[in-house]
Structure formats: C-alpha cells, structure tokens
Amino acid sequence: MPPSKEISGRFFVRYRLTGDESEARAKAADLCLEQTVECPADILPKGFIPDEVVGRLESLQKSSAPGAPAYEALVSFLNDTTGGEITQLCNILYGNISLKKGFRLSRLEDGSGLWGRFKGPRFGCDGLRALLGQPHRPLLSTAVKPMGLSAVELAGLAGRFAAGGIDVIKDDHGLANQPFASFVERAERCAEAVRKAAAPAGRTILYAPNVTAPAAEVHERAHFAKQVGAGALLICPGLTGLDTMRALADDDSLALPILAHPAFLGSFVTSPGNGISHFALFGQLMRLAGADATIFPHFGGRFGFSLDECREVVDGCQDALGNLKSIFPTPGGGMSLRRLPELLAFYGNEVMFLVGADLVRNGPDIEKNCELFRELVERN
C-alpha cells in the first residue's frame, strides 16, 4: 500500500447543469466544492486547497439541447485528487452530486495524463477481432438462458450456438451460482460444449461465463473459467463496482476479453437532467474500467433507449479518450433477426450484435437460426 504516485496536471469534465445562468453558475460553484473538499469555501485554508484541490469552472455555455433550460459547464479537477483509483475518480466525477438534482455528467474530456494511468481495454475492437479472426464484419453474440435450466441444458444450448457459428456466447447475466446450475459445473460444461462444437469448422468461438459474484469470489471464478477453457468473461460492474472489472481486465494471468453488462446501472441514465450520460457511462467509463465490449439495450427492443442515446454509446466507445483502445458497442435487449438490416445501417461494421431469444424463437433448428444470423451480417 504505497502512497499513490503524483500525476501532474488536471483533468476536464463536462456537466449539464439545469437552470438559468445564475442557477447554473451557483450549481457549478457548488459542484466544484462538493466533489472535492465537501465544505463551504470560507473555512478553507488559503493556498493549495482553494487554488488547486477545489474543482475549477473553466467555462459555462448555454446548452442548445432540447428540454429544460440548462448550461454546459466544463470543470477541471487536479489529477491527484483521484489518487489514480477508479473508485475515487468516480467519487470526484459524481459522488456527492448524485444526491442533488439538476447535475448530469456529460463526458470526460482531456485528461492530461490521468486517463493514461488506466490500462483500459486489454483487447479493444482490434484485439477482439484478431482473437476471433474476424477483421471486418460485425461480431455476433448471444446468451445461454433462461435461469432455471440445468448446467447440462445450458451447455447443450451453448454447443448449438457454437455449431451455428456465433462468435461470442455469453451466460445470461442472471446466471450466478444457483443450485440449479452452479458456476463450476456450468462454466466447465459450457466451455467444453463450445470447444467441441467449434472444432469441426476450425472456428474460434469464445464462451463468456458470468463472473458477477461476491467480492472475494470474482477472481476465483474468473481463473476457474480460464482454466476450463472459457475464452472471455461477462461481468456486471453495476453490481460488483467498476474497479472489480478493471482488476479483471488488468490481470495478466487471465488476459481474457471482458464484456460489461449494464444491470443495476439504469438509474444513472433514466432521468434526463440527472445522472450520467449514455456516452460517459456506457461508453467512456466502461472503457476506462477495462471492458472490451459494452452491452446496452438497442432502441425498440424490450427497453427504452432512444436512437440518439444508442448513438451516444457508440461514440463513447470510439471517440478519443487518452490512448485507450476503442471497444465494441453491443446492442441487445430483445433484438430480432428481422431487424438486422436496420441495425447494420445504424451501427455499420464496428459493432457486436447480441441476439438472444430470437435464435431460439425463430424456428426449431437453433443452428440454422444462428447461420441465418451470420448470413444476414456477412451479406452486408
């Protein structure tokens, strides 16, 4: 536990503050104190703390976005206030002000060396493409479910998806360590089923078990998964904390691609004037914390994201953020095969599609449904 190394410079964050100019200015001043020293300015000793540690309002501009009147504030913070830790970075970004109304974190901007302190995605788009031997087309993914099936039944499904040529086959994120399909048996059987089914065609297919688990077991499950041949990992950072995902991504003895699932994170985005933008949460923060693919619900499925919000996620996956690799937006949440032309038009090639139930629903021959999925994407 050595003290963290100094990280010179400041990092910049954009917030949307609801209100007219004087309200927005008051909110900005409040934010600069609340996110750092958490006390009124008049009790601070002069010098370093008010001059450097307190957040600094760099600019304030009227927002042109539709909705309630709002201002865009660019705020800078001293890199050292984060101690180089994602937990404390998130606290500076949105810790206390999460409890107030009318503050929305829009995006991480220039990081003068702070973003470079995080390794971010180990694979990113290029690395995952190289691993799968798929340099161009959108990647295909699906989920084994539902909860309640036995490990043997889930493995049967995984094998059929693999025989059908799906690139990444993940656990449903509700599969944990339930008595009806324990983690150990499920990971072992699914990994084996995928390996056997992929072998005849010489394909690389990754099985990603869900390692969302009690704090002390995440790494144990991940290492067990690797040992039995899983090629990737699924985790819900909203349930485990973002840094738990970061630690998996940074673990050189694992070195597996990470898929991030958005469970339990929706409240950050559902209230437009509050919370964190889709861009920053599902794009930038997931990437900073090591995800190689970020799952989110596409417009028009079972969930309510708009097309603009989906576009934000894509941009957050790909727009420059230090030197961090870009990652795969992974739209899912009730996607059907018949929507693929529309999805392809919207996302282009730099995407991993997640189609779940429709690969079972589209007809009794699951393998054929998977092949159709693949054909629809390759035809593009």
Residues 337 to 376 in contact with a copy of itself, rule: CB under 8 A: 356-357, 360-361
Question: At its nearest, how many Å lie between a copy of itself and the CB of residue 129?
Answer: 28
Task: Report 169-228 residues binding a copy of itself (CB under 8 A).
Answer: 172-174, 176-180, 182-185, 212-218, 220-221, 224
Among 93-101, 106-114, 162-170, 338-346, the segment contacting a copy of itself (CB under 8 A): 93-101
State which of residues 43, 136, 252, 345 lies at the interface with a copy of itself (CB under 8 A).
43
**SS3 for 263?**
coil
State which of residues 70, 197, 233, 265 lies at the interface with a copy of itself (CB under 8 A).
265
C-alpha torsion 55→57→63→65, nearest 10: -20
Distance CA 96, CA 129 (A): 39
Answer for the pair 17, 103: CB distance below 8 angstroms, yes or no.
yes
Question: At its nearest, how many Å lie between a copy of itself and the CB of residue 277?
Answer: 12
The answer to whether 48 contacts a copy of itself (rule: CB under 8 A) is yes
The residue (of 40 and 66) whose beta carbon lies closer to a copy of itself is: 40
Residue 169 tokens, joined: 């086959």
Mask 103-142, x = binds a copy of itself (CB under 8 A)?
A: ----------------------------------------
Q: Give whole-number Cα distances, 271 to 103, 129, 224, 282, in Å.
A: 11, 35, 39, 15
Question: At its nearest, how many Å lie between a copy of itself and the CB of residue 287?
Answer: 17
Answer for the pair 35, 92: CB distance below 8 angstroms, yes or no.
yes
Among 197-205, 272-280, 315-323, 338-346, the segment contacting a copy of itself (CB under 8 A): 272-280
Q: How far apart are the first and last CA of the chain?
A: 52
State which of residues 21, 26, 49, 363 lies at the interface with a copy of itself (CB under 8 A).
49
Distance CA 301, CA 32 (A): 39
Question: At its nearest, how many Å lie between a copy of itself and the CB of residue 107?
Answer: 17
Distance CA 104, CA 111 (A): 19
Task: Report 317-336 residues binding a copy of itself (CB under 8 A).
Answer: 333
The answer to whether 275 contacts a copy of itself (rule: CB under 8 A) is yes
Binding residue count for a copy of itself, defined by CB under 8 A: 101
The answer to whether 229 contacts a copy of itself (rule: CB under 8 A) is no
State which of residues 246, 287, 298, 325 lies at the interface with a copy of itself (CB under 8 A).
246
State which of residues 6, 64, 135, 200 lies at the interface with a copy of itself (CB under 8 A).
6
Answer for the pair 226, 92: CB distance below 8 angstroms, yes or no.
no
The answer to whether 81 contacts a copy of itself (rule: CB under 8 A) is yes
For 15-50, b/e burial (b = at least 16 CB within 10 A) is bbbbbeeeebbebbebbbbbbbbeeeeeebeeeeee
Among 146-154, 197-205, 252-260, 367-375, the segment contacting a copy of itself (CB under 8 A): 146-154
The answer to whether 276 contacts a copy of itself (rule: CB under 8 A) is yes
Give all strands (DSSP E) within the chain, no chain letters.
Answer: 10-18, 56-62, 70-78, 103-108, 139-144, 168-171, 206-208, 233-235, 258-260, 275-276, 293-297, 328-332, 352-354
Nearest to 264 by CA among 174, 355, 142: 174
Question: At its nearest, how many Å lie between a copy of itself and the CB of residue 320?
Answer: 25
Report the alpha-carbon angle 102-104-108, nearest 5.
155
